[in-house]
Amino acid sequence: MRKYEDLYRHKGLRNQLINVLREKGITDEDVLDAINTIPRHYFLDSAFDQIAYEDRAFPIGEGQTISQPYTVAYQTQLLQIKKLDKVLEIGTGSCYQATVLAHLNARVYTIERQKKLYEQNKNYIFKNKYPNLKFFYGDGFEGLPTYGPFDKVIITAAAPFIPPKLIAQMKVGGMMVIPVDEANGGQRMLRITKTGENSCVEESFELFSFVPMLQGKNG
Ligand code: SAH
């Protein structure tokens, strides 16, 4: 069960988390403000209430996890979100990352392949606050061709390779932030900028650890 009560204590813990994220090198004030505003504990089972603001990933069911706040901040900062950017997210999971993007006034299209996790968001707590967030059940490798092209694409699971269909669904000038499997373990965070219809520039960042991006739908 999730519990929707944002107490003074939670707000204090969020403030401390912001300090941790600053110490780890996050500098984008809009991203920090989103994380400071959104009650992360709303996206977790109430059993995690006491620890929801630790900089850790937690289980959300179906063998999946809510990303670590540092990872959410890092990916969001790399995406350089602008108001009304059309953003495709692969891996809705708890919907915490998608909510951060929605708070930054992006138009968010998020896809989840696990039916149970997708259905959990039918009761999304911030439905009225963020009408700019839309949920889809499907395979992220396919993207959402009828809704594209997108300004930004974010993948929140460990990708075995850069999905070509997602590159095709990006606008020229658009960016993708994606953790790609490394030969000796973990994932390298990459930012791909589409510089022309058939050209991209790739930048390489830190190593992270994600649950796998899997082919097809489940359930
Ligand atoms: N952004 C999420 C992170 C969840 S973990 C959050 O903030 O909580 C990654 C999620 O990606 C999992 O829920 C997993 O089921 C989903 N996933 C993995 N492969 C996928 C695919 N091919 N298409 C869509 N979702 C996928």
Q: What is the CATH number of the domain that holds 179?
A: 3.40.50.150
Split at pLDDT 50, 70, 90, the class of 219 is confident
The residue segments making up the domain with residue 101 are: 57-208
**Bridge-partner residues for 196, per DSSP?**
199
Task: Give the pTM.
Answer: 0.98
111 occurs within a structural domain: yes
Active site members: 67
Domain count, the chain: 1
Pocket test residue of 214, 215, 217 for ligand 1, highest count of atoms within 8 A of CB? 214
Predicted pLDDT at 1: 85
Rounded average pLDDT over 49-61:
95
Q: Give the helix/strand (H/E) hosting 75.
A: helix 69-79
92 occurs within a structural domain: yes
The model's pLDDT over 70-104, given as tens digits with 9 standing for 90+, comes to 999 999 999 999 999 999 999 999 999 999 999 99
The model's pLDDT over 131-165, given as tens digits with 9 standing for 90+, comes to 999 999 999 999 999 999 999 999 999 999 999 99
136 occurs within a structural domain: yes
Identify whether the C-beta of residue 37 lies closer than 8 Å to the C-beta of residue 103: yes
- Of residues 10 and 218, more confidence is placed in 10
Q: Which residue has the tokens 């953790």?
A: 179
CB of 93 closer than 6 angstroms to any ligand 1 atom: yes
Pocket test residue of 60, 211, 215 for ligand 1, highest count of atoms within 8 A of CB? 211
Q: 172 C-alpha vs ligand 1 centroid, how far in Å?
A: 26
Cα distance between residue 43 and residue 38, in whole Å: 10
DSSP 98-161: HHHHHHTT-EEEEEESBHHHHHHGGG-TTTTT-TTEEEEES-TTT--TTT--EEEEEE-SBBSS
CB of 163 closer than 6 angstroms to any ligand 1 atom: no
11 occurs within a structural domain: no
Angle, helices 29-37 vs 96-103, to 10°: value is 120
* Mean pLDDT estimate for the chain: 97
Identify whether the C-beta of residue 155 lies closer than 8 Å to the C-beta of residue 140: yes
